Chains A and B, each alone.
Chain A
Amino acid sequence: MTDKFISIEAIARRYPGADGKETTVFENLWLSMGRGEFGCVIGHSGCGKTTVLNILAGLDEPSEGAVIVDGQAIEGTSLDRAVIFQSHALLPWRTVLGNVAYAVTSKWRNWDRAKVKAHAQTFIDLVGLTGSEHKRPSELSGGMKQRVGIARALSITPKIMLMDEPFSALDALTRGTLQDEVRRICLETGQTAFMITHDVDEAIYLADKIFLMTNGPGAVLAEIVENPLPKDRGRIDLHRHPYYYALRNHIVDFLVSRSKTFASDVTNHDPRNVPVVRPGLSEPTIVSAPNLVETGSAQTVAR
């Protein structure tokens, strides 16, 4: 058994329906992650991804089950678990420095102003916003706002960073640079991170483990995909790696068809022992992939 830094144990979330019946978003969900791992959840809308993240954050409570982080069952929100919100959620009446300092003073209440400022500045520099400390969120671009959100989350040196589709509202170029930043920061600091995304390439680039969820209601964690790409992968040449297409096709296939049919196809699914898949060369569909890459022509694949 690997080190279980985060362990989600048999959680369920039910909402009271209009007709008195309960709607079960998911139940008996088990999920674990090791320290320093980057986990990504992929699934269609309505599968309860955000609910899982909110439960991890403590913003929502599971109807059943428990979540254990670093050996302790979580109860409510905590400064150990920082959240990067999809909508950045900066306080618009505070400056960049003010927003980060607000988080810093929340964690270390007895620090004096100078210490708080210096600490906040470190993280503003880390996300590359040096010089914009005194701007208000309304004066920043979408990407810069999300950088502040990242700086705010990191500034409290959390055990886990939780991200709810943090880059989905950004344009492709900005998203790319921010993914680079997040990857660099997580690798440098050994940060444990849990992220929700819709973007397959984002998951492939960032995640060590990709959690595939089937469609809700009654969603289950169908598979854990281990990322076979090397740790030092770069965003630019990611798609040239021989395992890339195997991994990508596996995830896309799941999202396109298997996420719908999973419940009827797989009858012996054990939510406690979710199969771990490591797509690689042995994947029959793309067995000649490395050769194709060597020829360097996409046309060959088509013929």
Chain B
Amino acid sequence: MTSSLRFRAAVVSIALFAAFLGIWHLATRPTAAAHNMSPEYAKLMGLTATQGKSAMPGPLDVGAKLWEHLRQPFYDNGPNDKGLGIQLGYSIARVGLGYFLAVIVAIPLGFLIGMSPLISKALDPFIQVLKPISPLAWMPLALYTIKDSSISAIFVIFICSVWPMLLNTAFGVAAVRKEWINVARTLEVGTVRRAFTVILPAAAPTILTGMRISIGIAWLVIVAAEMLVGGTGIGYFVWNEWNNLSITNVIIAILLIGIVGMLLDQILARFTRMVTFPE
């Protein structure tokens, strides 16, 4: 039954996708070309005006361009013309670094908050105020103090991924079942060993859920951050291609951002499944 449901769902998905492509294709068909335009004027105008070509690229244009990119993902023709693979690589590296720093800070601090009601209460007002700040609002301050646009972008990723991880770790640690703690207490297990053998495994699913939310947010923010800092990365690529008025490349970038985001999420989902225990 399950496999048949999956099969039917796949059929519907493919049908929807085909319908989407079909409508897109029809909507971007060239209209009748202009006939009585003076040749000199026509030279000044683009294909849109002279040949009736749609301003919006059709699926075939995008497909052809995508194929071109995929055949050569890592070319480097100077600062404004790099392969998509290189641009995505820059973005993933920034996200990875900022995210890694956030993990190093958020998980131990979350443990502390979860285990100590005093620290929890003391830090609560700071967290409540800092959490809702848009990560991009930190950008000017980061640029001013760090004086390096690339590191500033990493800082912005750090600051946006730290909160979900911090709060989920603190919640997961604080919500560990009392009876498991009591088991450790009756066995005279020391604090450090208790943290690693009882609290960490018990809170791991919640912590990983926080990490999964964080990686999603980090990937959302990196595009905006790179639009601001410029230079490299998929966000910069989108903005650069918008300035070039290459809508085809913008659409391709959007597609790739979605796919990479999905892959990052799936990786974390897999980790979450690994640490989840059935009750």
Q: How many residues of B contact A (CB 8 A)?
A: 18
CB proximity of A97 to chain B, nearest CB, Å:
15
Contact status of A59 and B186, CB under 8 A, knowing A89-B180, A91-B201, A102-B197: yes
Q: How far is the CA of A272 from the CA of B189 in the complex (A)?
A: 36
Residues of B within 8 A of A89 (CB): 177, 179-180, 182-183
Q: How far is the CA of A85 from the CA of B186 in the complex (A)?
A: 11
The residues in A between 67 and 100 inclusive whose CB is less than 8 angstroms from any CB of B are 77-79, 81-83, 85, 87, 89, 91-93
A58 and B198 contact, CB distance less than 8 A? no
User: What band does the interface of chain A fall in when counting residues whose beta carbon is under 8 Å from B?
Assistant: 20 to 34
A106 and B188 contact, CB distance less than 8 A? yes
Contact status of A79 and B180, CB under 8 A, knowing A92-B277, A136-B278: no
A77 and B188 contact, CB distance less than 8 A? yes
The 8 Å CB contact of A91, one of B180, B185, B275, B278, is B180
Total contacts A to B, CB within 8 angstroms?
54
- The chain B residue sitting closest to A86, CB to CB, is B179
- The chain A residue sitting closest to B198, CB to CB, is A91
Cβ of B44 under 8 Å from chain A: no
Residues of A within 8 A of B278 (CB): 92, 136, 138
- The chain B residue sitting closest to A57, CB to CB, is B186
The residues in A between 88 and 132 inclusive whose CB is less than 8 angstroms from any CB of B are 89, 91-93, 102-103, 106-107
Cβ of B68 under 8 Å from chain A: no
Residues of B within 8 A of A87 (CB): 179
CB proximity of B25 to chain A, nearest CB, Å:
52
Q: How far is the CA of A93 from the CA of B200 in the complex (A)?
A: 11
A103 and B187 contact, CB distance less than 8 A? yes
Contact status of A85 and B179, CB under 8 A, knowing A92-B279, A93-B277, A138-B279: yes
Q: How far is the CA of A130 from the CA of B179 in the complex (A)?
A: 26
Cβ of A12 under 8 Å from chain B: no
CB proximity of B4 to chain A, nearest CB, Å:
29
Q: What are 27 pairs between A and B in contact, CB < 8 Å?
A: A57-B186, A58-B186, A79-B187, A79-B188, A81-B186, A82-B186, A83-B182, A83-B186, A87-B179, A89-B177, A89-B179, A89-B180, A89-B182, A89-B183, A91-B180, A91-B183, A92-B279, A93-B201, A93-B202, A93-B275, A102-B187, A103-B187, A107-B187, A136-B278, A138-B277, A138-B278, A138-B279
The 6 A-B residue pairs whose C-beta atoms are closest, nearest first, are: A138-B278, A106-B187, A89-B179, A93-B277, A92-B277, A93-B201
